[in-house]
């Protein structure tokens, strides 16, 4: 039961993350140099995971 509640809370935290974290629009450099796109994608994923972890911190005690 705890796993179901936790997974719902994580999905809710991800929805909140999409509204809180401002993402930069794609530029020409993202298209010309794919490594820039991959680097930014991994950075955004990391930021999202950190936000979700900190968002759920009070509930994980």
The answer to whether residue 61 scores a pLDDT higher than 70 is no
pTM: 0.69
Query: For position 25, what pLDDT does the model report?
Result: 85
Query: For position 46, what pLDDT does the model report?
Result: 92
Query: pLDDT tens for residues 1-60?
Result: 888 988 898 899 889 888 888 788 888 888 888 888 888 889 989 988 998 888 887 766
Residues in Cβ contact with 37 at an 8 Å cutoff, skipping those fewer than 6 apart: 26, 30, 31
Spell out the domain ranges in the chain. 1-56
Q: Are 29 and 36 in contact (CB under 8 A)?
A: yes
């Amino acid at each position: 039961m705890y796993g179901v509640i936790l997974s719902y809370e994580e999905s809710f935290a991800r929805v909140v993350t999409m509204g809180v974290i401002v993402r930069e629009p794609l530029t020409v450099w993202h298209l010309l140099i794919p490594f820039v796109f991959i680097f930014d994608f991994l950075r955004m994923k990391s930021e999202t995971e950190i936000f979700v972890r900190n968002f759920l911190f009070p509930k994980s005690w």
